[in-house]
């Protein structure tokens, strides 16, 4: 890349110890998205490393990635809120399928049926290909 | 318009980070409606604004064929880890696309091949590109959405 680079194996604080940069590289999120799942068609508020969203049905979404993970051992926790960012909306969420370039998620309401939420958050962690 | 650095050989992740910092996201008005099962409702594919900005800019995204190669590897029964991830980073990136070309690329990347390979060979199309305002404005009856059998440019697509 045409930008400057700092190459280091360790970051050291003056008093609080040191950290292997591998932890920083491996531990950083490789993708994230915040989207509105309740509008007529879903739309992103912000994202990184996402190519698109598939709206399968009520409360069912797939997030597809640009830069692939190296295996299907990546993880993608998902969270949601109701009509506002502070509304818990009595829902639970799950990641139901993981590929190296996509993750599929479902959101359930308190009545155990799938439902749409205004605020849906997904974070992608793992090693990139 | 900012020039894209020479990115061939740069990790795709680094390119996306550069794009996030330097390009304004582009909210596309296009949506892709497709059906991959007669028993299920229509799916809606929405392009990500940052991804669309990369596609319009050019020189960032790898050719779509790279994703097909990785998908072939992943479909092998003994797949554990990608060994050809370098294809994403070392293959010459594609140049600037129009929004319509970007949507076609996204379809070939993110829709099942069984849908787009012969999308109009049946009694009704399995895949339609439409504008956002051609879709229902609310999620009412979302699980019953189907591609309309008699489409025209002025009608609702689903």
Predicted confidence pLDDT, tens digits, chain A (129 residues):
556 778 899 998 899 889 888 888 888 999 999 999 888 888 999 999 999 999 999 999 999 999 999 999 888 878 877 766 666 666 778 888 999 999 999 998 777 789 888 889 999 999 999
Residue B151 lies in a domain: no
Q: B-contacting residues of A 39-98, CB under 8 Å?
A: 39-44, 47-58, 64, 66-72
Q: How many angstroms separate the CA of residue A94 from the nearest CA in chain B? A: 19
Q: How many angstroms separate the CA of residue A15 from the nearest CA in chain B? A: 31
The pLDDT of residue B153 is above 50: no
Residue B23: alpha-carbon gap to chain centroid:
19
Q: Is A26 on the interface with B (CB under 8 A)?
A: no
Cross-chain residue pair A70–B85, CB shorter than 8 Å: yes
ipTM for this prediction: 0.91
Counted domains in chain B: 1
Cross-chain residue pair A52–B14, CB shorter than 8 Å: no
Q: Helices B49-57 and B12-22, interaxial angle, to 10°?
A: 100
Helix (H) or strand (E) holding A50: strand A50-57
Hey, what are B87's tokens?
């294809």
pTM for this one? 0.90
Beta bridge mates, A9: none
Q: For the segment B92-108, what is each residue's pLDDT rounded down to a tens digit?
A: 999 999 999 999 999 99
Instruction: Tell me B134's DSSP state.
Output: G
Q: Are A59 and A114 in contact, with CB atoms under 8 Å apart? A: yes
CB pairs under 8 A between A and B: 123
Q: How many angstroms separate the CA of residue A61 from the nearest CA in chain B? A: 9
Residue B69 lies in a domain: yes
Nearest CA in chain A to B24: A46
Q: What are phi and psi of B52, to 5 degrees?
A: -60, -40
The boundaries of the domain holding residue B41 are: 12-144
In the prediction, which pLDDT does A88 show?
A: 64
Residue B18 lies in a domain: yes
Q: What's the whole-number average pLDDT of chain B?
A: 93
Q: How many angstroms separate the CA of residue A72 from the nearest CA in chain B? A: 8
In the prediction, which pLDDT does A81 show?
A: 76
**Interface with chain B: mutation pick from A57, A60, A62, A107, highest number of B CBs within 10 Å:** A57
Residue B3 lies in a domain: no
Residue B85 lies in a domain: yes
Residue B113: alpha-carbon gap to chain centroid:
12
């Amino acid at each position: 890349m045409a930008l400057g680079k700092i190459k280091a194996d360790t970051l050291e604080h003056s008093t609080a110890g040191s950290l292997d940069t591998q932890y920083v590289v491996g531990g950083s999120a490789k993708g994230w998205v915040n989207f509105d799942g309740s509008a007529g068609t879903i739309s992103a508020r912000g994202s990184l490393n996402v190519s698109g969203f598939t709206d399968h049905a009520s409360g069912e979404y797939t997030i597809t990635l640009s830069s692939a993970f190296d295996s299907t051992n990546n993880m993608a926790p998902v969270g949601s809120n109701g009509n506002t960012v502070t509304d818990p909306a009595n829902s639970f969420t799950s990641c139901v399928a993981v590929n190296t370039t996509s993750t599929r998620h479902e959101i359930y309401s308190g009545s155990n049926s799938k439902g749409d939420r205004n605020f849906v958050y997904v974070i992608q962690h793992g090693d990139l290909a | 318009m900012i020039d894209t650095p020479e990115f061939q050989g740069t990790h795709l992740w680094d390119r996306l980070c550069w794009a996030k910092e330097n390009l304004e996201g582009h909210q596309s008005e296009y949506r892709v409606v497709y059906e991959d099962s007669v028993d299920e409702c229509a799916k809606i594919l929405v392009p990500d604004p940052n991804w669309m900005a990369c596609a319009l800019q050019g020189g960032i995204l790898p050719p779509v064929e790279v994703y097909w190669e990785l998908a072939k590897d992943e479909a092998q029964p003994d797949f554990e880890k990608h060994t050809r991830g370098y294809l994403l980073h070392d293959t010459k990136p594609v140049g600037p696309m129009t929004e319509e070309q970007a949507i076609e690329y996204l379809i070939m990347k993110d829709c099942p091949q069984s849908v787009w390979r012969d999308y109009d060979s049946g009694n009704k199309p399995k895949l339609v590109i439409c504008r956002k305002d051609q879709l229902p404005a609310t999620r009412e009856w979302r699980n019953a959405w189907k591609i309309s059998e008699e489409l025209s440019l002025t009608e609702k697509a689903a």
